[in-house]
Every structure is written in C-alpha cells, then in structure tokens.
Amino acid sequence: MGVEDFGDGLYAFHYGSARSIFMVTDDGVIVTDPLNIDAAKIYREEIAKITDQPVKYVVYSHLHWDSVAGGQIFKDEGAQFVAQERCAQNFQLNPNSAIVAPDITFSESYTLTLGGQSLELAYFVPATVIA
C-alpha cells in the first residue's frame, strides 16, 4: 500500500497488486477505481495526507467489480461517478450493493475538467456486458 507521486497533481494509489490513479486540483480531487470497500477507506486516508480538497469525481475504468466496489465513501462526501455507458449498463443488469451507480455516462469520449486540469476518457473497445 502507498502512494506514488507522478508530479503535476497526478498520483498512483497502490493496494496489493492493484493500482488506481487520482488527480489533485485546486478545486478538488478526481479518483479512479476505488477497488473495494477496505481499499477505498485507505485510499481516502492517503488522499487526505496530500490534500484537504474533497473528492469531486470517481471514474470507473471498466466493469469488473473487483476494481470499482467501495466507492460509497466518496459518494458520501458528494462525489459524482463517471463511467462508460456499457459499463453502467452492466451494473444495472448485474446489481451489486458495493457499486455506486454512475451519475455521468459517456459513449465514446468524455473530458472531465476540474480546477484547471483535465482527464480525457475514451472508449476503445466494446466492453462485454455480463448478463
């Protein structure tokens, strides 16, 4: 476990063999993949060591529950969740109480801008919807 600083407000959160990224801006934090409930708590603690800014957005990179569960801790502080529309569709077809439903979905691309920083999201290949 730990955090790696890539510079310019971009960090990696390491939890076991998993890694997520987060971006700290002047107006808040963008988080990717909360991993699971236990990891998300530690993830939030690690972010708090770097900034007192709130988490404004959580981005799901894909539909696997082992990477995106546990985001409720970020939702509780007001974060909006972002996912590609097929990812969101999978969560609707296969509900899991540890998954926070996306507030924002996109089809092919989406630019998330916060505090003068941008995160470009792109959909490259069809996500398999598990039904």
For 86-118, what is each residue's pLDDT tens digit?
888 887 888 888 888 999 999 888 999 999 999
* Confidence (pTM): 0.89
Residue 57 lies in a domain: yes
Average pLDDT over residues 72-78: 95
Q: Residue 64: pLDDT band by 50, 70, 90 thresholds?
A: low
CATH number reported for the structural domain that contains residue 64 in this entry? 3.60.15.10
The upper half-sphere exposure of residue 29, i.e. CA atoms within 13 Å in the direction of its Cβ, equals 24
Residue 131 lies in a domain: no
Residue 75 lies in a domain: yes
Burial of 49 (0-12, 13-18, 19+ CB in 10 A): exposed
Q: What is the per-residue pLDDT for 43?
A: 95
Percent of the chain with pLDDT over 70: 90
Residue 129 lies in a domain: no
Domain count, the chain: 1
Q: What is the per-residue pLDDT for 128?
A: 53
Show the domain range for 80.
2-122
The upper half-sphere exposure of residue 114, i.e. CA atoms within 13 Å in the direction of its Cβ, equals 23
**Mean pLDDT comparison of 7-11, 16-20, 119-123, highest-scoring range:** 7-11
Residue 48 lies in a domain: yes
Q: What is the per-residue pLDDT for 131?
A: 44
Residue 128 lies in a domain: no
Residue 86 lies in a domain: yes
